[in-house]
Structure formats: C-alpha cells, structure tokens
Amino acid sequence: MGASVNALAAAQDEKPQHRVYLDSFWIDRTEITNAMFSQCVASGACHKRSYSPYLWGVELPNGTPYYGEAKFQDYPVIMLDSDEAQAYCKWAGRRLPYEAEWEKVARSTDGLLYPWGAVLDCEHANYLDCKKGPVSVNSYASSASSYGALNVIGNMWEWVADWYDANYYTQSPLQNPSGPADGEYRVLRGGGWNSISLELRVTNRTTGKPEHSTDGAIGFRCAVSIANP
C-alpha cells in the first residue's frame, strides 16, 4: 500500500510504501447509482435528491434534471456528504470501504499504477478532458480492476471510511488498518471526471470535509466484511 520513495509525483502522505494484510471482504462492483439510491430514499433511510448538478458544472443538455430522469438511472448518485453515503451503506447492510480495502481493489496484488496497468488515457477512464461529466457506472468495462470493480479510477471521487492523517502511513497497523480514530477530514479516493491525470494514480489521497455535499464529482461504493468461519 502507498507509493515508493522514488515514485513520480507521489505526495508525502502516500509514503512510505508498506505491506498490510486484510481480512476478506466484498466491495460493490460499481459506484452507487441514482436508481440504487432512490430505493433508499423510498424507504425513508436516505434524503431525497432534489437539485440539478447542472448548476454545479456538470454539463447536461439544457439543464436537464439529473435525478428522476430514466436516462440517468445508472449514473452515479452525486453531491452526498460522508454521512449520507454511510447512511446508504448502512441501509443496504454494508459500510463504506476502508482506504486500504479501496487501494487493494484498485491496484491488486501486483502494485499497479492504475487498475488496468501503467498507461492512462480516455479509453480507460473518465477524467478531465474526456467526457465533461459523469458517465454510466457500467462504462469502461475493459478497465475493471483484477477484482472486477469498475471505475475505481475516474468518473467519481469516492468517500472511504477513514479519517485523514497525512502521517498515518508511518504508523499504520500491519493488519486491517482503518485509519485514525478521529479527524477533521475524511479521505477521498480515485479521482473524478474533473480530475487531472496525476490525481488518478491508485496511491493518490485527497480529503473532504465530512459535511461537504456540493461536488458533482463525488460519489461512493459500499463494502462488507466476510465473517471468518
């Protein structure tokens, strides 16, 4: 996990590279969609999405509403703060993935720079200068990680469960690291449709205020632990 000392463009909070061991877990194959989230809204466990991300820079024709439109049902739900993402995962019987889990899914055991290899372009991921907005969560199927997860890189920044600490990797537990006990910011991973290429490296870390909910490039996926037999 993390970047090597000599890794190109790696920030200090990505170092040192270190080995961790994780118990088995499942993770969602895709980012959570509008259709998935609407079921949580219908149950009363999640808040209704009532605004159009067009107002926040997502390019949709003539201000087309993003929520409730059939053609956007398999697009990622966006503009959710960390608590709302966790509420959905709890309703679904899951949780947000830990940062270490997210990175394992993204880079596999081969320590890849991207889920598919070492070259980034618009044929593999949705980032700045590609689509100018979110795309279906089922896009870029050929770029899936070795574990089958789609769009781990690009399309949406993804909330993970961990609080952020720039020096956490210097003291990370060897087994099942779950981040600091508390903090001011939560970790976001993966880069979004409006991210520059450097932000899409699998080791890249960024942060967001837990209450931050006005970004059209933040989404999430859920995970669940597999109980030991």
pLDDT, tens only, 32-47: 999 999 999 999 999 8
Q: Is residue 5 part of a domain?
A: no
CATH number at residue 144: 3.90.1580.10
pLDDT of 139 above 90:
yes
Section 107-115 average pLDDT: 87
| Residue numbers of the domain that contains 58 | 12-225
Q: Is residue 3 part of a domain?
A: no
Q: Is residue 4 part of a domain?
A: no
Section 56-79 average pLDDT: 72
3-class SS letters over the chain: CCCCCCCCCCCHHHCCCCCCECCCEEECCCCCEHHHHHHHHHHCCCCCCCCCHHHHCCCCHHHCCCCCCHHHCCCECCCCCHHHHHHHHHHCCCECCCHHHHHHHHHHHHCCCECCECCCCCCCCCCCCCCCCCCCCCCCHHHCCCCCCCCCCCCCEEEEEEECCCCHHHCCCCECCCCCCCCCCEEEECCCCCCCHHHHCCCCCEEECCCCCCCCCEECCCEEECCCC
Q: Is residue 100 part of a domain?
A: yes
**What's the pTM?**
0.92
pLDDT tens track for 154-173: 999 999 999 999 999 999 99
Could you give the percent of the chain with pLDDT greater than 70? Answer: 92
What is the structure's pLDDT at 69?
A: 76
Point out the least confidently predicted range of 68-82, 88-102, 166-180: 68-82
